[in-house]
Amino acid sequence: MLLTCPHCETIFRVDTTDIKTGGRKVRCSVCGHVWQAKRGGADVITEEADLLQQFRSWQGVVVAILLVIALTAFMTVNRNLISANLPQTKGIYTALGLTITPDPEKVEVGRLSATRKRDTIRVTGEVTNLSSWAVHSPPLMVTVSDSFGLVLAQKSLTLDLEIIPGGMSLSFSTQVLLDETLNDDVVTEIVVVPVVQSAL
């Protein structure tokens, strides 16, 4: 067990059998103070209590480490949302080798309009952010096909702004060139979808 001098507070390790139930006079080898040490007294700390005290002193450190791990995991998993709403963090994620990828499920393509003149199709529309938080603008894939589903042309499109604010829409406009000139009576179908991009 551990014995503390009540005068100079020096702590000594003593054998439990050295202190009898009734107590014993002891002398501090540091300051020379003499006192009656008893088992269970204020000056006696058992090894178990000492270990518990050490554990309690480490508890705060362990909790702090766990909080840092949890925060790091949260910031890693939610990096797309965080970097869209705090653009200055994008450089930090990039420096750490973490990619930022737009989530195509957070947006919707609408208000599509297309006009065709010989081998050129002009497509306009808008991409709406469905969430209340800002999101990264995903690239779009414009596909032109005939009435039988045969793909006549495809074009990848990047929006002018990298971030779409929550609940807002971004307009887009592009031209798609066909490999051949179509007759005016040929029906074409235009599909524009957001696609997953490997990294920003």
pLDDT tens column, 149-188: 888 899 999 999 999 999 999 999 999 998 877 777 777 8
Residue 199, C-beta contacts closer than 8 angstroms, at least 6 positions apart: 99, 100, 101
φ, ψ of residue 93 in degrees (nearest 5): -60, -40
Each domain of the chain, given as residue ranges in start order, spans 2-73, 104-194
DSSP for 22-75 reads T-EEEE-TTT--EEEE-TTSTTEE-HHHHHHHHHHHHHHHHHHHHHHHHHHHHH
Q: Is the pTM of this model over 0.75?
A: no
Report the distance separating Cα 184 and Cα 178, nearest Å: 14
Paired tokens of 60: 């705060």
DSSP-derived pairing of the beta strands 188-194 and 140-146? antiparallel
Residue 6, C-beta contacts closer than 8 angstroms, at least 6 positions apart: 33, 35, 42, 43
Overall fold of domain 104-194: Immunoglobulin-like (2.60.40)
- What does the CA dihedral 35, 38, 44, 49 come to, rounded to 10 degrees? 180
Q: Confirm if 120 and 178 have CB atoms less than 8 A apart.
A: yes
Q: Is the pLDDT of residue 111 over 70?
A: yes
pLDDT digits (tens, 9 = 90+) for 125-143: 999 999 999 999 999 999 9
